[in-house]
Amino acid sequence: MSKGHPRQLTHYDASNHNQAPAPLVGLDTDKRATVGLSYMTYEQLDEFGAELDAVRQRVLDDLGQKDADYIRRVIRVQQTAEVLGRIAVLAGVFNFWVLAAGAVLLGFSKILENMEIGHNVMHGQYDWMNDPMIDGRRYEWDNVAPAQDWKHGHNFIHHTYTNIHGKDRDIGYGLLRIDDDQPWYPNHRFNLPLAFLLMLFFEWGVMYHGLELDEYLSRKMTKAEFGHRKSRAARKARRQVLKDYVAYPAIAALAIPFVGWWAPLAVIGATFVANVIRNIWAFLIIFCGHFPADVETFHEEDAENETRGQWYLRQLLGSANISGSAPFHVLSGNLSHQIEHHLFPDIPARRYPEVAKDVKLLVEKYGLKYNTGRLSKQLFSVAHQLATYGKKPSDPYKQGRSPESRALRRAKREARERELAQA
């Protein structure tokens, strides 16, 4: 590791759990991060971090058979729904209502597979089981986005740099303006219709997001790496399309002599509906996790040289929960406990409700905000945000293309270069 490298890690000591996570170490290592100072002192932040570490450790120590049984039960339900759904879709060429039921079952199974199983397994929540079928490193989900690139963008970028402007690529996904501190561009006038389209084709959006085209265009990514990403995405999309829109419809082609030429098309249509059902649901849950009003965002300067406690606090302030019934939580992959998920992304999600009790006690103790609400309330808030921030702001510093913004960006870039040259 060379000296002066912005990601130098020498002072990071994970055994001393209270130091800044390495990726947020700034060039000026004497500077302290300002995250959370409006809520508590540095000493309190350290205490807060230690208390959350203790909560996490308590759950980790208790992991065992019941967690293993739980995830296997979820997988059994999901696979049963998937198999029944596929059969119903195929049999549906003889009866429309069976076709419709099949599409719903298949959509339900894809929701479970993507959210409570895929997302959580790929976080490494069940790696302690050492079961190769649900190993975070090897698991591939029923979604066109390849696991490898999704894990980089989600587990690393999004979960480490949560809600830091210029770092977390999930703030508006480079498509929408959802926060006052994002620069406004003319395409943001179409915030609501674009969000609606993204909702329908969400898995393709996730795949495209994982290519990180913007990183490549700004020369932060090599051509070779971008090429690998493209070919992984193409391979995965080909397999998904082959399965959903070629292989199963081909089986339905056997029914052509009995019902007519459209039998494979009925299967294609029902499977498309199933995929869209999953897309809509995933989009709704995910948008409600970070984009309602009052969710805080941060700037890089605030978060450089964060302590463990500050990192935790940033996760807490940057996420929002959705209240609901137990089945609702399972269907959301327990991302309805987005706050707990962001504090402890690698503990089995079924533990989030129990962890939430401890988190709420700490929230009370330190007088923090705990953003939660019904799905309808959070959704309305997100839609309101999209509508509000889609309008052109009067402040020229908030318009991406104004001369003022350009000058500011240039000044920042030059300051950074000077700093780098000095180091």
Partner 1 sequence: MGILRTVLVSKPVRALTSPHHPDHYLERLHPLATAEAVRARVVDVRRETGAASTVELQANGAWRGFEPGQHVEFGVEVDGTRKVRVFSVSSSAHLHDRRFTVSVKAHPDGYVSQFLHRDLERGTIVYLSQAQGEFVLPDPVPDDLLLISGGSGITPVMSMVRTLKDRGHAGHVTFLHYARSRTDEMFTADLDALSSLNIDVVRIYTREPAPGAQLRGRFHIDHLKHLGIDPTETLTYVCGPAGLIASVRDTYTDLGAADRLRLEYFKVPSVDLEAADATGTLSFDTSGSEAANTGATILEQAEAAGLSPEYGCRMGVCNTCAVKKLSGAVRHVVSGEVCANTDETIKICVNVPVGDVAVAL
Q: For binding to partner 1 (CB under 8 A), which residues are involved? A: 1, 9, 12, 14-15, 17, 21-23, 53, 57, 60, 63-69, 75-76, 79, 83, 122-124, 127-133, 135-137, 140-142, 151-152, 155-157, 159-160, 236, 239-240, 242-243, 247-248, 345-346
In whole angstroms, give the CA distance from residue 99 to residue 92: 4
Contacts for 75 with CB less than 8 Å, ≥ 6 apart: 117, 134
Q: What angle do CA 84, 90, 93 make, to 5 degrees?
A: 130
> What is the CA 274 to chain-centroid distance, rounded?
21
Of the pair 129, 362, the CB lying nearest partner 1 is at 129
Of the pair 155, 402, the CB lying nearest partner 1 is at 155
Phi, psi of 418 (to 5 degrees): -60, -45
Q: How near is the Cβ of 181 to partner 1 at its closest, in Å?
A: 23
SS3 (DSSP) at 142: coil
- In three-state form (DSSP H/G/I as H, E/B as E, the rest C), the secondary structure along 162-191 is CCECCCCCCCHHHCCCCCCCCCECHHHHHH
Contacts for 152 with CB less than 8 Å, ≥ 6 apart: 210
Q: CA 68 → CA 112, 153, 340, distances in Å? A: 16, 27, 20
Q: How near is the Cβ of 403 to partner 1 at its closest, in Å?
A: 38
In whole angstroms, give the CA distance from residue 237 to residue 207: 9
Of the pair 210, 390, the CB lying nearest partner 1 is at 210
Of the pair 154, 188, the CB lying nearest partner 1 is at 154
Of the pair 75, 175, the CB lying nearest partner 1 is at 75
Of the pair 307, 378, the CB lying nearest partner 1 is at 307
Of the pair 69, 181, the CB lying nearest partner 1 is at 69
Of the pair 76, 384, the CB lying nearest partner 1 is at 76
Of the pair 37, 60, the CB lying nearest partner 1 is at 60
* 213 φ/ψ sector (left φ>0, alpha ψ -120 to 50, else beta): alpha
Of the pair 135, 400, the CB lying nearest partner 1 is at 135
Q: How near is the Cβ of 324 to partner 1 at its closest, in Å?
A: 26
305, amino acid identity: N
Enumerate the β-bridge partners of residue 321.
372
In whole angstroms, give the CA distance from residue 74 to residue 62: 20
Q: How near is the Cβ of 273 to partner 1 at its closest, in Å?
A: 19
Q: How near is the Cβ of 7 to partner 1 at its closest, in Å?
A: 9
Q: How near is the Cβ of 140 to partner 1 at its closest, in Å?
A: 4
Question: Do 252 and 263 form a contact (C-beta atoms < 8 A)?
Answer: yes
Question: Do 207 and 236 form a contact (C-beta atoms < 8 A)?
Answer: yes
DSSP assignment string, 45-73: HHHHHHHHHHHHHHHHHH-SHHHHHHHHH
DSSP label at residue 322: E
Residue keyed to tokens 């270069």: 417
The H or E element containing residue 375 is helix 375-390
Contacts for 273 with CB less than 8 Å, ≥ 6 apart: 103, 107
In whole angstroms, give the CA distance from residue 269 to residue 249: 10
Using the Cα atoms of residue 339, residue 32, residue 171 and residue 234 in order, give the sign of their dihedral: negative
Q: How near is the Cβ of 198 to partner 1 at its closest, in Å?
A: 23
In whole angstroms, give the CA distance from residue 81 to residue 107: 9
Q: How near is the Cβ of 177 to partner 1 at its closest, in Å?
A: 27
Of the pair 114, 399, the CB lying nearest partner 1 is at 114
